[in-house]
Amino acid sequence: MPSVIGQQIKIVSADGAYLTTDTGARLLDGTASLWYANIGHGREEMAQIAYEQMKKLEAYHVFGRYTNDRAIELSEKLRSIAPFDDAKVILNSGGSDSIDVALKLARRYWNHIGRANKKVIISREHSYHGLHAYGTSVAGLDFNREGYGTDSLVDGTERIEKHDAGAFADAIERIGAENIAAYIAEPVMGTGGVHPPQPGYFKEIQRLCHENDILFIADEVITGFGRTGEMFASTRYQLRPDIVTFAKGVTSGYAALGGILVAPRVWRPFFENGADSPTYRHGTTYSGHPVTAALALKNMEILERENLIARSAALEEVLTAELKALESHELVKTTRVGGFLGGIELSDKVNAEFVTDKIIEHGFITRPLRGNTVQISPPFILTDQELRGLVRAVGTVLDSLKAGTP
Ligand code: PLP
């Protein structure tokens, strides 16, 4: 493909792990779009299920007394695969929605059980939690918080260093446990540069949450639905979250859907007094949308039928070996893998944005992340050979840069 430096790339069609541009170039999708095209692109049966559902019932809201079969089936399915027992489900339209509802619910929970001071949300530097006001405020990417004339769009947010459980203990000491509602983290930090958890980190965080009555929220928007070789990364990393946020992989991107899974500790107080219980007033126009729900159900059927979660685990091993081999390259500082998610941190001598542009010219899409890191997170349907080809293309580009012939 000719140089793409500074050029827009228009994708006109896609099938499996490949994308076709308006100039006819065929590119391997090495990032599964924005970490979501897990079952691959262009599946006929996904189009078919959307068509059938649209013919029958394209949409009707689920406010008040209304519901529909697909929303019920999807909620049941999600309850059956949740990383904890007896989950309740709130559905919405994407990851940022999910963050907003999870953090609102955390505050609403403490308020409802009579501890209204517990409002502060603690998160990690370099984390990404979407771009609604709450997500922008808690996320640790300062450039997204700039330009609003205030440090944080929503009050009461605090960020701590990403691998440092001691910093959490210090924050609790400083802010006071009586003022803290929740701690939120991505099990594997994605946009911040692909950072898997350090051994023991979440164990200590959870101990502190437990000891100090702080809710633990796992943001599984990227990691949910098989990306780390388990349905949820919470299972893989032995997390016991009170709330899980999800989106992306729930439909593999065939429709905009997100939601949260809520553990009994948090939902129970809202159901204790029968008709006198307070209503948790949250919902969006497309919550429980039957077409997106039908697509999510079909997506999960495909994941199961084709054993794609086991495949994701197998691909993680290939990725780990390939990235290890790349570490000896003089233009690579280090590499990281957490599930079928890889990051190649480049040396200061090269720039990830430039390198990813060059990789496109070789027919592969990767993406620059924070910290001069190249993102590798392809669909789960890749062959081992295709994955090796992708990582080796990164090596080829780095070799050409080393030799001064980009
Ligand atoms: N949380 C995490 C961990 C994400 O990576 C993202 C998006 O990349 C979001 C939340 C926001 O999701 P959305 O872009 O669907 O609103």
The per-residue pLDDT for range 75-85, each reduced to its tens digit, is 999 999 999 99
- 4 falls in which pLDDT band (50, 70, 90)? confident
Of 212, 273, 219, the closest CA to residue 243 belongs to 219
CA-closest residue to ligand 1 atom 13: 95
Token code pair at residue 272: 């204790």
Does the pLDDT at position 1 exceed 80? no
Per-residue pLDDT of 337-374, as tens digits, reads 999 999 999 999 999 999 999 999 999 999 999 999 99
- Ligand 1 pocket by Cβ (under 6 Å): 34, 94-96, 99, 128-130, 186, 190-191, 219, 221-222, 247, 258
Mean per-residue pLDDT of the chain: 96
Residue 252 CA, ligand 1 centroid: distance in Å: 13
> Can you tell me which atom of ligand 1 is nearest the CA of 130?
11
> Can you tell me which atom of ligand 1 is nearest the CA of 223?
3
Give the model's pLDDT for residue 277: 82
Residue 221 CA, ligand 1 centroid: distance in Å: 6
> Can you tell me which atom of ligand 1 is nearest the CA of 34?
8
- Per residue, what are the HEC states of 293-309? HHHHHHHHHHHHHCCHH
CA-closest residue to ligand 1 atom 5: 222
Per-residue pLDDT of 16-70, as tens digits, reads 999 999 999 999 999 999 999 999 999 999 999 999 999 999 999 999 999 999 9
> Can you tell me which atom of ligand 1 is nearest the CA of 186?
3
Q: Report yes or no: 257 and 296 within 8 Å, Cβ to Cβ.
A: yes
Determine whether 324 is exposed, middle or buried from the number of CB atoms within 10 Å of its CB (0-12, 13-18, 19+): exposed
When computed from its CA atoms, the radius of gyration of the chain, rounded to whole angstroms, is 22
Residue 98 CA, ligand 1 centroid: distance in Å: 9
CA-closest residue to ligand 1 atom 1: 129
Mutate to test the pocket of ligand 1, among 221, 251, 369, 377 (most ligand atoms within 8 A of CB): 221
CA-closest residue to ligand 1 atom 12: 95
Q: Is the model's pTM score more than 0.95?
A: yes
CA-closest residue to ligand 1 atom 11: 130
Residue 375 CA, ligand 1 centroid: distance in Å: 15
Give the rounded percent of residues in the chain with a pLDDT score beyond 70: 100
Residue 60 CA, ligand 1 centroid: distance in Å: 26
d(CA 286, CA 299): 19
| SS3 (DSSP) at 36 | coil
Residue 405 CA, ligand 1 centroid: distance in Å: 37
Mutate to test the pocket of ligand 1, among 137, 162, 186, 222 (most ligand atoms within 8 A of CB): 222
Q: Report yes or no: 384 and 354 within 8 Å, Cβ to Cβ.
A: no
Is residue 110 within a helix (H) or strand (E), and if so which, with residue range?
helix 95-112
CA-closest residue to ligand 1 atom 15: 95
Lowest mean pLDDT among 194-203, 215-224, 270-279, 313-322: 270-279
Residue 94 CA, ligand 1 centroid: distance in Å: 8
d(CA 19, CA 83): 33
d(CA 81, CA 219): 16
Residue 24 CA, ligand 1 centroid: distance in Å: 30
Residue 258 CA, ligand 1 centroid: distance in Å: 9
CA-closest residue to ligand 1 atom 2: 129
- On whether ipTM exceeds 0.95, the answer is yes
| SS3 (DSSP) at 359 | helix
Question: What number of other Cβ atoms are within 10 A of residue 86's Cβ?
Answer: 11
d(CA 401, CA 209): 47
Per-residue pLDDT of 208-261, as tens digits, reads 999 999 999 999 999 999 999 999 999 999 999 999 999 999 999 999 999 999
Residue 130 CA, ligand 1 centroid: distance in Å: 4
Biggest CA–CA distance in the chain, Å, is: 73
Q: Report yes or no: 150 and 186 within 8 Å, Cβ to Cβ.
A: no
Residue 128 CA, ligand 1 centroid: distance in Å: 7
CA-closest residue to ligand 1 atom 6: 130
